[in-house]
Amino acid sequence: MITDNYTETFTDTMLSPGQTYEYEVFAVSRSGIVSTNALKATFNDNTFPPAAWPAGSRLEAKEWKKDSVNLTWTPAENAKEYRVYQDGNLLGTELGNRNTYFVDQLTPGTTYTFKVEAGNETGKWTTSGPQLTITKDNGDQEPPNISSVQPTDNAVVYTPNPVISAVVSDRGVGARSGIAVYLDEECLDGIKEDVEKGTVKVLTYGLSNGKHTLRIRADDLVGNKAETITSFTVAFEPDGPVWPEGSTLSVSKVTSSSLTLNWAPAQGATGYRIYQDGSVVDSVYGEVYSYTVTGLQPQAWYMFSVEAFDGVGRISQKSLTKKAWTEIPIELWPPDSRLEAQEWGKDSAILSWTPAKNVKYYQLYKNGIPIDTLFSHETKREVNGLVPGTAYTFKVEARDIGAWTSGGPELTMTKGDGDLEPPVISDVRPADQAVVYTPDPVISAVITDSGVGVYATMVTVDGQSLPYTRYNTETRTMTASAHGLSIGRHTLEIVSWDKVNNRAESITSFIVAPAPSGPVWPEGSTLTASNVTSSSLTLSWTLAQGATGYRIYRDGSVAGSVYGSVYSYDVGRLQPDTTYTFTVEAVDAAGNVSLNNPVTTVKTKAAQGTTQAFRLRAWPGFLNAGFATRVGPPGYDSLYDLNNDGVIDGTDVQFVADKIAG
């Protein structure tokens, strides 16, 4: 059972491939009331399509080392996992969202055959994945090449904040596995690398005047190393603008493509120069202490610095720096996104909205103030404390791990009175003041709601709650069973709530009495008629307690009797298109009869065929046979069902007539 009020997910880890599973989810209140309806779902492994390799799928070997290689392959469709084989033996596995695998401990001059297969969510694996046969050679043994180092060896720079850069290239597998820059044997962070241009760049700040040692080291992907050591001299004139103690560069209004830099005024400054990754972006003048940087890439690191300068071109000895990360762009809301209010209560409403894509959270606002944060699967929220006649503006925004959207759907509404009508409880059984002859009566009632619908129902007898209350949404009927009630009067209370907490209550009483001397019909017993024709029908009834037989009455007269476990009776010799009243009476072995016997009224169908009047000559007079039903083919010889019992037998007459002359 899920007991967390906020938990709306359940993970089943005991499934088997090829099986079908059916799930039902019932809601349980704090008082133990179980909902009568349930959410249902069916799952089988056919839900997940099989993994499949696209046409032309390839397995390739890249980034060769002396004793290793990196395998890459075309991604398979619907892949949950990959298996990598070496010479027919399983080498290892990889997740379905990755398509590379590192293989080591290879011997130069040896031939190897590699193959990869894909499996789907249910563990079904392909058998025709891409294959590759290779012979391992000695690999790349050439180190990277480091050139164009700036500042150049023995150069003199006139700023305490020089930008260090170099070009790093490699004729083999590439040089991007490791690059380090050391200044005076201190490793610098914030290295920016342009893979296409093969350049690396790093910023320095507040260097002292004098000679500094620069060391750049590069490793390629197979472990070959290169290193260059140079030096340069800083010769800086310190009479420029000065930043106050504790000055910092801060970042605000970060999006996926822009951000704003903010700083405090520097003493003696007439302007500020903004750098992005060591390159000048722009300059501002006068009393301007912020700058918005645009054109950034989403989900990327940038290094920013601000340098103060005065009217004669002198710069601050220190620059303010800040490393910043841009956000992941969030897909905009669909064009037809809506925020709607449903199921109004006295002081509440339920808001629902169109789901946004690729988000993790929603933020709900009321009159511009955030009131709740919800997970991505939650697109509905009940808002309470609303005042009738008051206007409210609601808005919902979405986010992933980045910034919130700003164009989410919005709704302005005025709170009305909402659904104030409680449910209606009717047709309570046992009825008020009724007498029942069983200690285990079935409690039932019809509960309807003209507003938002019935939400929960509680039934108590003498203050004790009955378990397993059921509510049929189609018939609007609630049922519950009481057990072991004592002889005497009992108080029955039924309470029902709708979805906005309107409450209805019904309080009645009934009496449990000892069973009478004769058989007893259960409450609600009925007598029904079926198979109705023009001359016959079948009666059926429910079992009476203590009965050994039943007596059937037609229009007050005994029509027949049955004994034992027989609960139906066929009635014949009825007139067509005629109404009859039937009653069934239960009888026990001592001859005692039941009270309050079930009754039904039935009308037979009209006669089938042709009903004709005719006469039979009976010398010396005439015998009028009245109406009868003609049966059989047309002609002079006809059969007539004189007593209309649907059967031609000895009680009927075969009428033979000759054609009248002329």
**What would the mean pLDDT of 616-633 be, rounded to a whole number?**
44
Q: What is the mean pLDDT of the chain?
A: 83
Is 245 contained in some domain? no
Number of domains in the chain: 6
Last residue of a domain, one of 115, 135, 155: 135
At residue 639 the predicted structure's pLDDT band, cuts being 50, 70 and 90, is: low
Residues 103 and 173 in one domain: no
Place of tokens 């409680």: 422
Is 431 contained in some domain? no
Residues 129 and 195 in one domain: no
Is 615 contained in some domain? yes
Last residue of a domain, one of 390, 414, 438: 414
Is 377 contained in some domain? yes
Cis amide bond preceding 620, omega within 30: yes
**What would the mean pLDDT of 81-107 be, rounded to a whole number?**
90
CB 39 within 8 A of CB 2: no
Last residue of a domain, one of 325, 352, 382: 325
pLDDT at site 196 = 76
- pLDDT at residue 616 above 80? no
pLDDT at site 86 = 93
Residues 178 and 230 in one domain: yes
Domain of 188 in residue numbering reads as 145-234
Over the range 466-486, which residues count as b (16 or more CB within 10 Å of their CB) and which as e? beebebeeeebbbbbebeebe
- pLDDT at residue 505 above 70? yes
Q: Is the pTM of this model over 0.85?
A: no
At residue 238 the predicted structure's pLDDT band, cuts being 50, 70 and 90, is: low
Is 52 contained in some domain? no
- pLDDT at residue 250 above 80? yes
Residues 150 and 177 in one domain: yes
Residues 646 and 575 in one domain: no
Which CATH number belongs to the domain containing residue 548 in this structure?
2.60.40.10
The SS3 of residue 45 is helix
CB 615 within 8 A of CB 653: no
Cis amide bond preceding 151, omega within 30: yes
Over the range 506-532, which residues count as b (16 or more CB within 10 Å of their CB) and which as e? bebebebeeeeebbbbebebebebeee
Tell me the pLDDT tens digit for each residue of 447-478: 998 877 888 899 999 999 988 788 888 889 99
Is 491 contained in some domain? no
Paired tokens of 127: 């058998």
Is 98 contained in some domain? yes
Tell me the pLDDT tens digit for each residue of 313-335: 788 888 899 998 887 665 668 88
Tell me the pLDDT tens digit for each residue of 149-202: 999 999 988 778 888 999 988 776 555 567 899 999 999 888 888 877 888 888
